Amino acid sequence: MMDTAVAPATTKDAILVASGLTKHFPIGRAGFRGPMRVVRAVDDVSFSVWRGSTLGLVGESGCGKSTLARVLLRLTEATAGSVIFNGENLFDLSRDEMRQRRRDMQMIFQDPLSSLNPRMTVGEILKEPLLIHGVARGEEKQRVADLLEEVGLGPHHSNRLPHEFSGGQRQRIGIARALALRPSLVVCDEAVSALDVSIQSQILNLLRDVQREYGLTYLFISHNLSVVKAVCDTVGVMYLGRMVEFADKRSLFSTPNHPYTQALLSAVPKSHPRATGARIALHGDVPNPINPPTGCRFHTRCPAAMPICQKMDPVLKDIGAGHLSACHLND
């Protein structure tokens, strides 16, 4: 089991604390009378998010980042664990109570076109959460106009349909919808990965601007480490459903501890033509989450694997100054 006492919430104001978060998807039995098989999408993950900060979650595709985000917001029910948001355990809330809390927790999706109703105008899309939650009654039209201006669009865009906008403009609409209820936590699930590099920069600047204006907290999910380095304060690295390293941005990028993190960072293109550093190649495929390896889940691809890695699951522990890593090299 991973250590659930991850980031100490006593030193800063934690808006969200996840402990032992687990999500297994049953997929049927192995044979007629075989045991029930499950996909271990998220397996005993713990971390804290400081109020007003940006936490980045990184890892290869399929490592459980997006599933973790959906479990945090209870869009997908957890198998085990707890999520304390603003001092309240979300898993103890009824459906109606959770609906009220969702005013404070919003999400920006990777593909804005598929997340926007194609039959509704932009004005109707932005007005919908206000009507559902009874916010700004009688002032919905003005609130929609204000939201569009906040994200770099204009009130005249409210009568247009989503397909009439570019990808960057659609993502601005997605951001406006997330801001409509003035939340305190926004989950950005690969929010800029589908955009051109120049548009990415504009959207990231917009996210920073609204964060400063409203004191937002971000959970920023991405596979692009360059983007994570630019916008995040702390970074969690996931591999096959587990958190393998967690640290502030400066510590993680300057002195990565876990071999998996080191391999990911070695693949980031260098900004200076004279920059040195050999790329660490990871051989083999990511193991099947239905039947993950015993011991350390990374040992089948780790260039520094030792015999103990095949037998014992390393604990995510503090190796100094709040830098957490799950690796037997630290024992």
Show me where the domains of the chain are located.
14-86+184-199+212-330
CA distance 62 to 95: 29
Q: Tokens 């955009």, residue?
A: 195
Could you give the angle at which helices 140-150 and 122-132 cross, rounded to 10 degrees?
Answer: 120
For the beta carbon of residue 56, count every other beta carbon within 10 angstroms.
26
Three-state DSSP at 258 gives coil
- Under a CB-based contact definition with an 8 Å cutoff, are residues 192 and 204 in contact? yes
The two beta strands, 217-221 and 54-58, are parallel
* pLDDT < 50 stretches in the chain: 1-11
Residue 43 phi, psi (nearest 5): -135, 95
- For the stretch 173-187, what's the b/e string if a residue is b when 16 or more beta carbons lie within 10 angstroms of its beta carbon? bbbbbbbbbebbbbb
Q: How many CB atoms lie within 10 A of CB 90?
A: 22
Determine the Cα–Cα distance for residues 265 and 225; give it in Å rounded to an integer.
7
pLDDT in tens, 185-216: 999 998 888 788 889 999 999 999 999 999 99
Amino acid at site 194: A
- Within 10 angstroms of residue 61's Cβ, the number of other Cβ atoms is 9
pLDDT given at position 267: 82
Single-letter code of the amino acid located at 223: H
Q: 272 Cβ partners below 8 Å, 6+ apart?
A: none
The pair phi, psi for residue 210, each rounded to 5°, is -70, -25
The 3-state DSSP class for residue 68 equals helix
H helices of 9-104, in order, are: 65-72, 95-101
d(CA 199, CA 236): 25
286/241 Cα distance (integer angstroms): 11
Residue with structure tokens 């080191």? Answer: 262
Superfamily assignment of 14-86+184-199+212-330 in CATH? P-loop containing nucleotide triphosphate hydrolases (3.40.50.300)
Convert the pLDDT of each residue in 21-80 to its tens digit.
999 999 887 766 777 789 999 999 999 999 999 999 999 888 999 999 999 999 999 999
**What would you report as the CA-atom Rg of the chain, rounded to the nearest whole angstrom?**
21
- Buried-exposed string 233-251: b where 16+ CB fall within 10 A, e elsewhere: bbbbbbbbbbbbbbbbbeb
